[in-house]
Amino acid sequence: PFAYLSDKPKDMRKEFLSSIWRIRVGSVALPLQMIAGMKRGVFVAGKYSQRRHIFGPDQKPKPIISFRTQHGPILHALAQLSVFDAYAQHSIQYFKHPNVAAPVQHAIGAMLKAVLYKTSQACLFTLSERCGAQGLFENNHIIEAMLETRAMSIAEGDTLVLSIRMGPSFISFYVMY
């Protein structure tokens, strides 16, 4: 039952990958934080836009959320979030399916990470701009979410490296089916 140091596995790569199985779970779990960061950014930008007013030509205060340049990016981010929530739930269900092989689980995580990283960075940047200088304040958490997203993109490898690593697995997967 116990493998001794002198007992070498037949396939060292396969043995290594089976011993680090939690990385596959992390590859799906980490990108979910990017969705949470986007939600936080949308909330902060929306509240700021409702609270901040300017005076119009009639000298009456008008909330800046009423301007298309302000509410457009916020609504766009909300639309993206509704799609990403559904995509993440679908990915999790597919990832948990008992017949899904480990390389496919890696692929699910890498795809989720690639899609969410690029979009969440662009979204958070735009939302921070909608808040003016206050978008840079630490207490608004938008820049913090951008940094967290950047850190998660680096964790477990860059998406390009993950994609290259997945290539041989997918070729063998598609040849089998």
Higher local confidence (pLDDT), 66 or 174: 66
With contact defined as beta carbons under 8 Å apart, do 128 and 37 qualify? Answer: no
Take residue 168 and report the two structure tokens written for it. Answer: 């041989």
For the chain, what is the mean pLDDT? 84
**What is the tens place of the pLDDT at every residue in 131-140?**
988 878 777 8
Query: Burial level of 109, CB count in 10 A (0-12/13-18/19+)?
Result: buried
52 has pLDDT over 60: yes
pLDDT at site 40 = 93
Mean pLDDT on 93-121: 88
Residue 141 pairs in a beta bridge with none
Higher local confidence (pLDDT), 135 or 5: 135
79 has pLDDT over 90: yes
d(CA 21, CA 30): 15
Q: Which of 94, 95, 116 lies closest to 21 in space, CA to CA?
A: 95
Q: Which of 39, 129, 141 lies closest to 81 in space, CA to CA?
A: 39
pLDDT at site 138 = 79
pTM above 0.85, yes or no: no
d(CA 73, CA 89): 24
Q: Which residue has the tokens 């490898």?
A: 157
Mean pLDDT on 142-157: 83
12 has pLDDT over 90: no
